[in-house]
Amino acid sequence: MTELELLIDFHKDAERQGPGSTADTLRALSFIDLNRNSPLKVADIGCGSGAQTIILAQNIAGRITAVDLFPEFLDRLRQKSAGLGLQDKITPLKASMEDLSFGREEYDIIWSEGAIYNIGFEKGIKYWKSFLKPGGYLALSELTWITNSRPREIEEHWNREYPEIDTASGKIRILEENGFSPAGYFPLPRSSWIDNYYEPMEERFEDFLIRHGNSEAAMRIVDAEKEEIRKYRKYKNYFSYGFYVAKKLPGE
């Protein structure tokens, strides 16, 4: 197995592949004015196994195209949505977020939890904007500094790993510069990282290592995740995911 295949194997049976919660998804949704006559068209980009896709399908009158690069995650979403009778509302689509076959101004809402970093925040906003109707909404969660200054270790770490990390005001400015009007922002609470993401992940370490015969590559993945958890626990007062909801201005 390649390192990428191992990573997919590690994450595919998790409830979610990043920090978040039902309450976060519903809170972000509450900033969106959903009073439309026709059913809404929604794209959930970088959906993973679709924890948030299911919540959206249960709370929106419309249809959701759920995009991910990896079929293993989409298979899990397919199973879950069939089990809940939501298969007619959710269409899984294997595609890259950087190369989408969507129509111009096709969607009312573009949703993406913990995934836009794969294309880059500003690049993703510029590219995805063309697929949104005027007056349509973008809802994104993205790594964000939640204080104006922070200890050097964590500042250097994130500047190296994800140089686009910024404070909420910096992220909102980028949205505004690209033709969006901010409709809502909140930082994800710690429970969305610890209870919903890191603790379930810690419970999978042992089984994953056994399944892969304690291979060096499997151990490298576990060690890297443990280090990420250590940094989060130590520096949780300084960064989180910010959830941003913004409306595309007419004429953009």
- The least CB distance from residue 114 to ligand SAM, in Å, is 4
Site string for ligand SAM, 93-112 (x = CB under 6 A): ---xxx--------------
Residue nearest to ligand SAM (CB): 48
Check residue 18 for interaction with ligand SAM (CB under 6 A): yes
Is 221 one of the binding residues for ligand SAM (CB under 6 A)? no
Does 76 interact with ligand SAM (rule: CB under 6 A)? no
Count other C-beta atoms under 10 Å from residue 136's C-beta: 22
70 near ligand SAM, judged by CB under 6 A: yes
Q: Is 73 in the site for ligand SAM (CB under 6 A)?
A: yes
Span 24-53, contacts to ligand SAM by CB under 6 A: 46-48, 51-52
Residue found under tokens 């919540």: 55
Q: Which is nearer to ligand SAM, 18 or 242 (CB)?
A: 18
Q: Does 68 bind ligand SAM (CB under 6 A)?
A: yes
Choose between 57 and 67: whose C-beta lies nearer to ligand SAM: 67
Give, to the nearest 10 degrees, the angle between helix 152-161 and helix 216-235: 130
Give the side-chain half-sphere CA count within 13 A for 247: 11
**What is the token pair recorded at 122?**
């500003």
Long-range contacts of 74-78 (CB under 8 A, 24+ apart): 74/47, 74/50, 76/12, 76/13, 76/49, 76/50, 77/47, 77/48, 77/49, 77/50, 77/53
Stretch that binds ligand SAM, among 69-77, 178-186, 235-243, 244-252 (CB under 6 A): 69-77
- Binding segment for ligand SAM (CB under 6 A), chosen from 34-42, 113-121, 170-178, 225-233, is 113-121
Q: Is 185 helix (H, G, I), strand (E, B) or coil?
A: strand
Non-local (6+) Cβ contacts of 242 within 8 A are 141, 142, 143, 144, 146, 168, 171, 185, 186, 187, 188
Binding site for ligand SAM (CB under 6 A): 16-18, 20, 46-48, 51-52, 67-70, 73, 96-98, 113-115, 118
